[in-house]
Chains A and B, each alone.
Chain A
Amino acid sequence: MKALKWFLPIWRANKWRMTAIVTLGMASAVFSNMAPLFIRSIIDGLRKDISYHLIGKYIILIIGLGLARYAVNYFAQINRVWMNQHIEMTVRSRVFRHLMHMDRVFFHRFTQGDLLTRLTDDVNEKIAWFGCSGVFRFIQALWTLAAAVSFMLYLNPAMTFWAMLPMPFLFLAYVTMGRRMDKLYEAVQNSITALYETLDACFSAIRLVKANGKESCQSETFARATERQKKAEIDSVVLQAFFSSIFNYVGYLCLFVVFLTGGRMVIQGTLTLGELVAFMFYVNMIIGPLSDISYFFISLKRAEVSIGRMEDILKSRSAVQEPRVPRQTPRAVKELTFEDVSFSPGPKAGLILKHVSFSAKAGHRVAVVGKIGSGKSILLSLIPRLIEPEGGRIAVNGEDIREFRLAELRSRIGYVPQEAVIFSATIRQNITLGRETSEEEFARAMETAQFAGEIPQFEKGLDTVCGPRGVTLSGGQKQRLAIARAILSRPDILLLDDCTSAMDAQTEEQLWNGLYRSMPDTLCLVSTHRIKTIETSPLILTLDSGALAEAGTHNELMARKGLYRSIYERQKLADEVHQRSSSGERSA
């Protein structure tokens, strides 16, 4: 019953609505069970010379009850729908909000597709529906059952016993079948997932398949996978058909028992014809609630699984935490230091950043170089505290950055990741991201980021919408937008993770000139391959497999004839070759 406990707070918060649902449910149960009584009266009356007038009265009562039932059910259901949606909204909001504060390690543990499924499917179908309709239809079914049994007892206790006799078996059958149904249902889902995997693999690799002429093999593989789905679905349908037969069979059996014993009693005179007919109606009325009651146990199980999946997320903690007693963030950043900083992505993984120490001053540019996977991006991500170091500390003006309020720290940092993030919004909104800014500042950021020149080519200029339903920016444009975004609020620390790859050398030079002009005191950390940028940086950090191999100025490092030198020379040659082969030497 863990699932029910989980919903309690939401129910309690809406207690008036829930009370209405329960009360309306009770009323509906009573109303729907009264009609057979009137039918009984009419039938018995017909055997004894009833007047038109009296029939008319009963008719009005039946119609009246029908209307009352309509009204009551309408409000009950509308409220249930309202509650279902409310639960859906509340749960989704809560989980999403929690997600917003998780660190990168969390997002490696849960894939995006998985999280999306949890926030949509699990919430919609399994949790939200169950949270109100699932539980309260069950309760209403109990009321209906109780009302029906009460009325039947009122009519004839002995008949009631006979009529209800097969019911427990029905209930049991439903529950056991239900469990098996779940298993078969799961098998169907798995077979469908496998099919999608097969299709995905086959058509992603279509070039390879065609090149080797293995089309027929893929066809056979697919045939096997569909065979599996077919089998699973047939098994499922067979059980379902069998089960619904049993279900209907018990209904038949009940009627048979009622007619047999009741018929006998009518013949003997201990039961009227009308009462027999009434019992027939009651038996038909009970089948529905019984199925609702049994379905409750099945959907309970499914809801529990989904709730577990939500709790998985809600119970996760981010490694990045707010300080208990935050310190005042310094007015200006004078120095950034890394003291023996290490990072590990998980308890079983090793260190991918190892004992890095360096110190940088305001107004300086620090170039970070190294092979792919040497830890450059990690180093940069640690500064805005997108991830937490395993060991060591990062300090601004001598104070550990963990002591500052997270939001304040981040507002002083401009971060441009390797893959620029573009949201479905206008270009302007993508740059401001909701921050208040003046027109001058905005224009300045656009100019400096070398992005202003790109705007005229868009029909609506800055109000052009980006994203799947709008324009797709080129790689270079995305990078410049991200840079404009970063420098908009004049950050104290600017982090650029290999974001000038789509710029030519001249544009990049203009970028740096602009940055120096408008933000001379900003501390920049740049991960880059650009020779010119690296050469002219006051501090160069050379990373090798997560460790800081060399640090110093260009001249110092060249003199050492170590890793930096080889990287530098290689890059220089690459630049030359590219220039050469793309500019000259066209064959005659």
Chain B
Amino acid sequence: MRFDSDEDSKDKINYRKTGGRLLKLLATRRAEFISALLLLSLSSITWLANPVLVRHMLDHNLPQKDYKGLITTLAVFLVNGLAYLFFTYRMQVRLEYLAQSMLIELKQNLVNHLLGLHLGWFDKTPVGKISARVQSDTDSMHNMFTGASVTIIRNAFILFGGLGIMIAFNLKLALVTLVIVPPLLIMARIFVRKSTPRFLKWRKVAAEMSGFIGEQLQGIAATQAYNRQEDTAGRLEEINDRKFKIILHAETLVVAFFLAAYFCEPLVTSLILGVGGHWAIQGKITIGVLIMFIMYMEQFIDPLMSLSEQISQIQRSFAAAERIFNIMDTKPAITDPPKPHYLARLEHNIEFRNVWLRYAEEAPWALKDVSFTVKRGERLAIVGETGGGKTTVISALFRFYPVQKGEILFDGMPLNNLAQSSLRSMLGLVQQDIYLFPGTMMDNLRLMDTSIPESRVHDAIRSAGLDEFFTRHALSKVISEKGGNLSQGERQVVSIVRAMVMDPPVIVFDEATASVDPHTERIIQSATERLFADRTCVVIAHRLSTIRNAEQILVIGDGEIRERGTHAGLMEQDGIYARYFQLQFGQGGGAHEGA
């Protein structure tokens, strides 16, 4: 079950605008589109030829007892039939290729655009919704391209073509049979009007059902602890019951409508045989023509009825397309300046100068007048309680969020003047939450960048002193389900190696707080120290060794720098840092533990 776009958009769909944009996708594929159209027409023509051939057989070959003629007619019939099948097959395949090509382009453009959007946008948009836009919305458009729109065109072809042939053979009878069309269309219209609200109710109750079940599965502990099992089961039955009635209500209409439409078949047959038969007795029309008319009319009923379904399919697809284009129209808030600068490496320092940052207009300040300098090759450790502003410093450094007041400078160059690509290749990030991608361990270590040779990964592993670790954990191991098969320790190791592989001049490191077994802890510590060697480091620190060896320590709380200095200096001050240190590491300075 997919996170389906259950958003019944109440906004009006701008068909012209959206249609225009969709047509642009088609514009680059004119040749394929025309050939598909050609195949469509050939398929329709060959189909239309059949009743004519049958008529010829019934009116000429058989009454004239012309066996040879019969065989000729039938040979043509067979060949025509094969041609029809061939053209239809080719058309369907061609259409599928065309649709896939268009959708892939659309999807890829969407994903590329998304990748360029700023983090602030992602904060507001759940990942599930993004996936729905990229995948299920485009899927619904797929149906429109290969199903609804083609069917409508083909049916139009057959309807008008067939009508033309019928008129050519007998105008009067053709007009008589057309009598059936208005009632059918009116019936279809009434059906759509009445069924839409019923289907809407159906979708709503289905969503309610899923929501209820999902919620109950989550809250099963409370349900059991308070003996609410029977009660809850009863409530499910109540929803079940309601769903039952709603579906029955909707289906009754569907059945009534479709069967009524199928009733048109004997009705039309009777009409043709009745009126036509009348004329046949008078010698004004032949039997073959009558049969031919019946064959055409039978094929007209389906198209007329399914027209409404196809129209609603197209509506849904357009709504989906609009949602996608809305995203494409969202501009990234953080972009490169018109003449971006590039820095190959850090020569001197990184400086925060009176930086003020908040995440939104009405939000409180997350950073207040923060100023500090990190010299090249230095290690800066940042400590403080959760939510105090440590992560915000990192976000500012990476230019994930804009700074409202003050400046951040790299070797004197303001951050905003740097090309983002240059900034990001100079900085490396090791986060607390470690994300894993579907693929092998090797792929994950190089962040899915296949342009990085495997040898570089091996070198990184060696530099980090993790050879032994990776003999136990194969590089070809496939990471499953967001890394469910990796332990906390393994994840931390992965993130350190990743940083080693990226080999940036500046490392920004958000130390993990989750505890691991002492052995893994030692390996991680040692690898971390090797990572820090010969690099400029900004570390949100939790480990004793990391803090102790830092040239500068900042204590950040409530968005401000509370204390700064070296470890010795801060201990002497006997302020927040001193208390914090004592708390975390006690007298012995062992590995940290939570209470």
Listed in ascending order, the chain A residues whose CB lies under 8 Å from chain B are: 35, 39, 42-43, 46-47, 49-50, 52, 55-56, 58-59, 62-63, 65-67, 69-70, 73-74, 77-78, 81-82, 85-86, 88-89, 92-93, 96-97, 99-102, 104, 107, 112, 115-117, 119-121, 192, 194-215, 217-223, 226-227, 230, 233-234, 237-238, 240-242, 245, 248-249, 252, 255-256, 259-260, 263-264, 266-267, 273, 276-277, 280, 369, 371-372, 381, 384, 386, 407, 410-411, 413, 415, 417, 421-424, 433-435, 467-468, 482, 485, 529, 566-567, 570-571, 573-574, 576-578, 580-582, 585-587
The one of B212, B232, B438, B482 in contact with A194, judged by C-beta atoms closer than 8 angstroms, is B438
Asked if B400 CB lies within 8 Å of chain A CBs, one says yes
30 intermolecular pairs with C-beta atoms under 8 Å apart: A46-B277, A47-B287, A58-B273, A59-B273, A59-B274, A81-B247, A88-B240, A88-B244, A89-B244, A96-B233, A96-B236, A120-B206, A120-B209, A120-B213, A195-B135, A199-B131, A200-B131, A204-B127, A212-B498, A213-B425, A215-B115, A226-B107, A226-B108, A237-B146, A241-B88, A248-B85, A267-B62, A267-B66, A273-B58, A573-B579
Q: How far is the CA of A85 from the CA of B209 in the complex (A)?
A: 14
The one of B93, B135, B211, B421 in contact with A213, judged by C-beta atoms closer than 8 angstroms, is B421
The one of A102, A256, A273 in contact with B78, judged by C-beta atoms closer than 8 angstroms, is A256
By Cβ-Cβ distance, the 4 closest A-B pairs, closest first, are A66-B266, A205-B435, A213-B424, A211-B429
The distance from the CB of B132 to the nearest CB of chain A, in whole angstroms, is: 9
Known: A215-B115, A424-B211. A264 touches B217 (CB 8 A): no
Q: Which residues of A contact B329 (CB under 8 A)?
A: none
Q: How far is the CA of A267 from the CA of B65 in the complex (A)?
A: 5
The one of A115, A213, A249 in contact with B85, judged by C-beta atoms closer than 8 angstroms, is A249
- The answer to whether B562 touches A585, judged by C-beta atoms less than 8 angstroms apart, is yes
Interface residue range, chain B: 35 or more
Q: Mark B216-237, 1 if CB is under 8 A from A, else 0.
A: 0111111111111111110011
- The answer to whether A273 touches B62, judged by C-beta atoms less than 8 angstroms apart, is yes
Q: How far is the CA of A97 from the CA of B435 in the complex (A)?
A: 37
Known: A214-B447, A410-B226, A581-B576. A208 touches B244 (CB 8 A): no
Which residue on A lies nearest to B119, using beta carbons? A207
Known: A234-B97, A267-B67. A85 touches B244 (CB 8 A): yes
Given contacts A62-B273, A63-B270, A240-B92, 7 further A-B contacts (CB under 8 A): A62-B266, A201-B435, A208-B447, A267-B62, A434-B231, A576-B579, A582-B558
Which residue on B lies nearest to A206, using beta carbons? B122
Q: How far is the CA of A255 from the CA of B57 in the complex (A)?
A: 13
Asked if B210 CB lies within 8 Å of chain A CBs, one says yes
The distance from the CB of B535 to the nearest CB of chain A, in whole angstroms, is: 15
Which residue on B lies nearest to A420, using beta carbons? B222
Q: How far is the CA of A240 from the CA of B2 in the complex (A)?
A: 24
The one of B67, B130, B431, B498 in contact with A199, judged by C-beta atoms closer than 8 angstroms, is B130
Q: Which residues of A contact B486 (CB under 8 A)?
A: none
Known: A202-B437, A208-B435. A245 touches B89 (CB 8 A): yes
Interface of B is mostly: helix
Q: Which residues of B contact A227 (CB under 8 A)?
A: 104
- The answer to whether A49 touches B281, judged by C-beta atoms less than 8 angstroms apart, is yes
Asked if B398 CB lies within 8 Å of chain A CBs, one says yes
| Contact segment of B162-170, B172-180, B256-264, B346-354 | B256-264
- The answer to whether A263 touches B61, judged by C-beta atoms less than 8 angstroms apart, is yes
- The answer to whether A585 touches B93, judged by C-beta atoms less than 8 angstroms apart, is no
Q: Which residues of B contact A192 (CB under 8 A)?
A: 135, 139
Q: How far is the CA of A143 from the CA of B214 in the complex (A)?
A: 43
The distance from the CB of A402 to the nearest CB of chain B, in whole angstroms, is: 15
Q: Which of B57-100 contact A (CB under 8 A)?
A: 57-58, 61-62, 65-67, 70-71, 74, 77-78, 81-82, 84-86, 88-89, 92-93, 96-97, 100
- The answer to whether A73 touches B259, judged by C-beta atoms less than 8 angstroms apart, is yes
| Contact segment of B457-465, B469-477, B580-588 | B580-588
Listed in ascending order, the chain B residues whose CB lies under 8 Å from chain A are: 1-2, 54, 57-58, 61-62, 65-67, 70-71, 74, 77-78, 81-82, 84-86, 88-89, 92-93, 96-97, 100, 104, 107-108, 111-112, 114-116, 119, 122, 127, 130-131, 134-135, 139, 142, 146, 206, 209-215, 217-233, 236-237, 240-241, 243-244, 247-248, 251-252, 255-256, 259-260, 262-263, 265-267, 269-270, 273-274, 277-278, 280-281, 287, 291, 384-385, 388, 398, 400, 420-421, 424-425, 427-429, 431, 435-439, 447-451, 481-482, 498, 502, 508, 515, 557-558, 560-562, 575-576, 579-580, 582-583, 586, 593-595
Q: Which residues of B contact A58 (CB under 8 A)?
A: 273
- The answer to whether A433 touches B438, judged by C-beta atoms less than 8 angstroms apart, is no
The distance from the CB of B436 to the nearest CB of chain A, in whole angstroms, is: 7
Q: Which residues of B contact A424 (CB under 8 A)?
A: 211-212, 215
Which residue on A lies nearest to B502, using beta carbons? A212
- The answer to whether B229 touches A260, judged by C-beta atoms less than 8 angstroms apart, is no
The distance from the CB of B257 to the nearest CB of chain A, in whole angstroms, is: 11
The distance from the CB of A107 to the nearest CB of chain B, in whole angstroms, is: 6
Which residue on B lies nearest to A262, using beta carbons? B62
The one of A74, A206, A578 in contact with B259, judged by C-beta atoms closer than 8 angstroms, is A74
Q: How far is the CA of A86 from the CA of B447 in the complex (A)?
A: 51
Q: How far is the CA of A35 from the CA of B263 in the complex (A)?
A: 12
Q: How far is the CA of A49 from the CA of B482 in the complex (A)?
A: 80
Interface of A is mostly: helix
Q: Which residues of B contact A201 (CB under 8 A)?
A: 435-438, 482
- The answer to whether A212 touches B424, judged by C-beta atoms less than 8 angstroms apart, is yes
The distance from the CB of A78 to the nearest CB of chain B, in whole angstroms, is: 6
Q: How far is the CA of A179 from the CA of B89 in the complex (A)?
A: 20
The one of B220, B236, B429, B558 in contact with A107, judged by C-beta atoms closer than 8 angstroms, is B220
The one of A100, A237, A249, A578 in contact with B385, judged by C-beta atoms closer than 8 angstroms, is A578
The distance from the CB of A534 to the nearest CB of chain B, in whole angstroms, is: 10
Q: How far is the CA of A42 from the CA of B273 in the complex (A)?
A: 8
- The answer to whether B58 touches A66, judged by C-beta atoms less than 8 angstroms apart, is no
Q: How far is the CA of A512 from the CA of B576 in the complex (A)?
A: 32
Known: A423-B215, A581-B385. A211 touches B424 (CB 8 A): yes
Q: How far is the CA of A66 from the CA of B102 in the complex (A)?
A: 45
The distance from the CB of B8 to the nearest CB of chain A, in whole angstroms, is: 15
Q: How far is the CA of A226 from the CA of B100 in the complex (A)?
A: 10
Q: Which residues of A contact B213 (CB under 8 A)?
A: 96, 115-116, 119-120
The one of B92, B209, B232, B252 in contact with A237, judged by C-beta atoms closer than 8 angstroms, is B92
Q: How far is the CA of A99 from the CA of B562 in the complex (A)?
A: 54
Known: A241-B92, A241-B93, A577-B580. A211 touches B427 (CB 8 A): yes
Q: How far is the CA of A209 from the CA of B210 in the complex (A)?
A: 33
Q: How far is the CA of A273 from the CA of B508 in the complex (A)?
A: 89
Which residue on A lies nearest to B395, using beta carbons? A207
- The answer to whether A203 touches B114, judged by C-beta atoms less than 8 angstroms apart, is yes
- The answer to whether B447 touches A217, judged by C-beta atoms less than 8 angstroms apart, is yes
Q: How far is the CA of A81 from the CA of B269 in the complex (A)?
A: 30
- The answer to whether A386 touches B224, judged by C-beta atoms less than 8 angstroms apart, is yes
The one of B223, B227, B233, B262 in contact with A93, judged by C-beta atoms closer than 8 angstroms, is B233
Q: Which residues of B contact A88 (CB under 8 A)?
A: 240, 244
- The answer to whether A421 touches B222, judged by C-beta atoms less than 8 angstroms apart, is yes
Q: How far is the CA of A566 from the CA of B595 in the complex (A)?
A: 9
